[in-house]
Homo-oligomer: A and B are copies of this chain.
């Protein structure tokens, strides 16, 4: 029995045997074997994480086809790496050498949308934005909105329990998954959860699969909870003379009982990078820019109240948008942050540390000190209302010393997050990138029990090996 953490031994079967068995239960167009093409499925957006060469890429269209793949993999002891749109940032979808890449992108049907029950039933390959727009036509809202929402799939979102800008009010993907159909490692089909609003029949296996990064089973169907569409949000921008002052405003806003639909922070480095890239006229001298939004019945009143709290915390300028169009423009700046930071140096490493929001100021201050210590540019944008920071370490991968410093600073940022009572990953997942850090967060008993769960669902260690642990 594998310990659930290490990749299995190289496939027992010859590649020829693997392909032959797979073909027996799949249409010809569901298999890709051309190494030039399969190589393009080797990794997600965290391209600097290690990745192997897939033996084959399979693109099933039905549950039965997925079951056939898993039965074959189990029989031949071949590892399987499930993939969605490969927009992940932790290498969680990276191929291992000789694996079957199981891409779910062709299982992309929206099977049902029910406005009365407020649920959608979907296949895993449905693109987040496609679903979000479709439910909007019914006056409904599917909140989770990771930055990659135009590309990423619901299956991938479920795999990493993805977040986004909306989380401060609406929570993450996990909050919206009511039930799942999952193909287990040995090909059996497991149905979990429910399509009712409530239900407590047995252990919550649904939530166990959400965020499991494809390491416990293959999600082939999901029942998702929907909400009524809220009014369009209005955004306020506040400019602060220090990151600490902006964090003070964040704490005051939350302490006073406000429920913004978005509460985002961009540090000086980020604001300047966005300005350089898109010439958006943001205040170049600012030390921290806070964006707050409300999608309440009277957002103007909420923005006014929050504006006052910003001023009290030391904001030098507070600009409430007066229209949805103006709001959209302000959000555009936030959405460009990562792309803009990526222009500073040839490479970036994006951290994802989440701390209790009362410790946000300490987190930002500490990150700034780490940047100085390692002589690096580290821009921070943050889902400030959640205490979820994305320090982006900018470096030149051709410069060996700078790369080493980047890696060390990246780790030191996670250490700081843990020290402040936070987590090494708020929404991006562990993947390959942070697996050495997971044990530090979970502790020995935590790791032992997590591995035990892995073994329970995947005793041969075939599903997405080498990730998480």
Give A residues with C-beta under 8 Å from B: 114-119, 139, 160-161, 163, 167-168, 172, 174-175, 184, 188-192, 194-205, 207-208, 210-212, 216, 228-229, 251, 254-255, 257-259, 296-298, 354-358, 383, 385-388, 421-430, 434, 438, 441-443, 445-446, 449-450, 452-457, 468
Contact = CB atoms under 8 A, between A and B. Distances in A.
Cβ-closest 4 pairs across A and B = A228-B257, A207-B207, A197-B386, A199-B423
Given A203-B453, A446-B190, A196 B386 contact: yes
A456 B445 contact: no
A201 B117 contact: no
A190 B445 contact: yes
Given A198-B167, A200-B429, A211-B200, A192 B446 contact: yes
A198 B263 CA distance: 14
A452 to B, nearest CB: 5
A454 to B, nearest CB: 8
A298 B301 CA distance: 14
Given A196-B355, A196-B423, A229-B257, A445 B189 contact: yes
Contact of A251 (B116, B212, B297): B116
A423 B194 contact: yes
A202 to B, nearest CB: 5
Contact of A449 (B190, B200, B204, B259): B190
Contacts of A423: 194, 196, 198-201
B358 A197 contact: no
B258 A426 contact: no
A194 to B, nearest CB: 5
Contact of A207 (B114, B204, B357, B426): B204
Contact of A202 (B195, B428, B430): B430
Contacts of A455: 456
Contacts of A201: 423-425, 430, 434, 438, 441-442
A46 to B, nearest CB: 15
Nearest to A296: B297
A443 B191 contact: yes
A332 to B, nearest CB: 24
A258 to B, nearest CB: 7
Contact of A356 (B196, B210, B211): B196
Given A255-B115, A445-B189, A200 B453 contact: no
Nearest to A352: B200
9 contacts: A115-B254, A118-B254, A139-B257, A172-B198, A197-B385, A201-B424, A203-B208, A203-B212, A228-B257
A192 B207 CA distance: 14
B456 A202 contact: no
A422 B114 contact: no
A200 B116 contact: no
A453 B160 contact: no
B196 A422 contact: yes
A419 to B, nearest CB: 13
Contacts of A386: 196-198
B426 A196 contact: yes
Nearest to A449: B190
Contacts of A430: 200-202
Contacts of A355: 196
A309 to B, nearest CB: 13
Contact of A387 (B197, B258, B428): B197
A252 B441 CA distance: 47
A113 B245 CA distance: 24
Given A443-B191, A450-B205, A199 B425 contact: yes
A455 B200 CA distance: 20
A262 to B, nearest CB: 13
A416 B430 CA distance: 43
Contacts of A174: 204
A356 B297 contact: no
B450 A202 contact: yes
A197 B354 contact: yes
Given A196-B356, A196-B423, A203-B454, 8 more contacts: A168-B197, A191-B443, A191-B446, A194-B354, A197-B426, A198-B387, A202-B430, A228-B257
A355 B116 CA distance: 12
